[in-house]
Amino acid sequence: MAETTGGSSSPGTSLAVAVGGRARVLSWWRTPTARRYVFGYTLLAPAVLYVGLLVGVPFVFSLYLSLSDATVGDPLARFVGTANFTAALENSVFWTAVRNTFVFTIGAGIMKGLLGTTLAFLLVQPFTGRRVIRALVVIPFTLPIAVSVLGWKWMFDSQFSVVNWALSRLGVIGGYGSADWPVWLGQPNLALFSVMFVNVWRGFPFSAIVLLAGMTSVPPDILEAAKVDGANFLQRFQKVIVPMIAPILFIGAAFDTVFTLSDLSIVYLLTNGGPDGATEILPTLAYNTGIRAGALGRGAAISLFLFPVLLPLMILLLRTLRRRQY
């Protein structure tokens, strides 16, 4: 066993290490601890460098781009201050996109929470065929997103929509051509509802599975104890399950919000922001401005407006992760 004199925790100082009964002076970096550190940071370096270079640097670069007049065609960007941000704030389309982004995220989030909770309560019960049913119910989340959105686009077809066919036969709506035949992706209010619906369809299994993971992680003896103490089902849910799974719920909600906020494929493929801006959200606006119209600086500025929304969420998440020792 190496015996150290002096502060072993202070790097840079040399230590006397007893080797075979004789004290030898070793420089700090040759001690086992130092070797472990060097080894460890060497193993970490590729991942940290990759993520740093392709997430960290681009993030900083997007801050810079947002302050410049960079375009796709012109590599020489000039500093324009906050012009891109003020231009965005003065644009009415931008405000429509902000409003839609909030409606979309919050509305869909609430729906996913409600449906997910219901589904989780059903799936947590023991019953025959649970595994198969669970596997079927989570299909929407596991299907590649572009694939499922294309499916919905066809189901929402203005004329040959199977949804409308069914509703019409059930007598909920009239036949094709009648005034109450909904054109899901073509009427402003219905279009926003439709993109939210697809997002909810894709997201509710995720909410359910996260909740389920939380519920099954609550030790049964604690629930049993609460039962013995006379707590009824709702009390047990409210006083035992919810507080215990709160961090998981929170992480699930944060993930879902980030996925929803940053995902453009549903809107892009279903409506591309239309009709008449009714489904424009910040991601589609940033994409259409930055890439399609080529105004990189403008696009970067628009996408950065998402950050103030996401930042508090990420800070809270960070604190949740740190508080819990893993």
Q: For residues 239-268, which are near another protein according to CB under 8 A? A: 247-248, 250-252, 254-255, 258, 261-265, 268
Look at residues 267, 253, 263, 261 and name the one whose alpha carbon lies nearest to residue 206. Answer: 253
Question: By C-beta, is 18 or 321 nearer to another protein?
Answer: 321
Q: Is 135 a residue that touches another protein (CB under 8 A)? A: yes
Q: Is 125 a residue that touches another protein (CB under 8 A)? A: yes
Task: Return the range that interacts with another protein (CB under 8 A); candidates 16-24, 81-89, 226-234, 314-322.
Answer: 314-322
Question: By C-beta, is 91 or 118 nearer to another protein?
Answer: 118
Q: How far is the CB of 286 from another protein (least distance, A)?
A: 6
Question: By C-beta, is 16 or 85 nearer to another protein?
Answer: 85
Look at residues 195, 208, 190 and name the one whose alpha carbon lies nearest to residue 101. Answer: 195
Element (H, E) at 293: none
For residue 105, the one-letter residue type is T
Q: What's the maximum distance between 2 C-alpha atoms anywhere in the chain?
A: 99
Rounded distance between C-alpha atoms, residue 186 and residue 270, angstroms: 10
Cis bond before residue 275 (omega within 30° of 0): yes
Question: Residues binding another protein: what is the number (CB under 8 A)?
Answer: 101
Which 3 state secondary structure label does DSSP give 79?
Answer: strand
Q: Is 196 a residue that touches another protein (CB under 8 A)? A: no
Q: Is 2 a residue that touches another protein (CB under 8 A)? A: no
Q: Is 56 a residue that touches another protein (CB under 8 A)? A: yes
Rounded distance between C-alpha atoms, residue 211 and residue 172, angstroms: 34
Q: Is 322 a residue that touches another protein (CB under 8 A)? A: yes
Tell me if 293 sits within 8 A of 76, measured CB to CB.
no
Which 3 state secondary structure label does DSSP give 98?
Answer: helix
Q: Is 50 a residue that touches another protein (CB under 8 A)? A: yes
Question: By C-beta, is 37 or 95 nearer to another protein?
Answer: 37
Rounded distance between C-alpha atoms, residue 158 and residue 176, angstroms: 9
Task: Return the range that interacts with another protein (CB under 8 A); candidates 188-196, 221-229, 230-238, 278-286.
Answer: 278-286
Q: How far is the CB of 67 from another protein (least distance, A)?
A: 13
> Hey, which residues between 203 and 222 contact another protein (CB under 8 A)?
205, 209-210, 213-214, 217
Rounded distance between C-alpha atoms, residue 279 and residue 275, angstroms: 7
> Hey, which residues between 18 and 47 contact another protein (CB under 8 A)?
35-37, 39-41, 43-44, 46-47
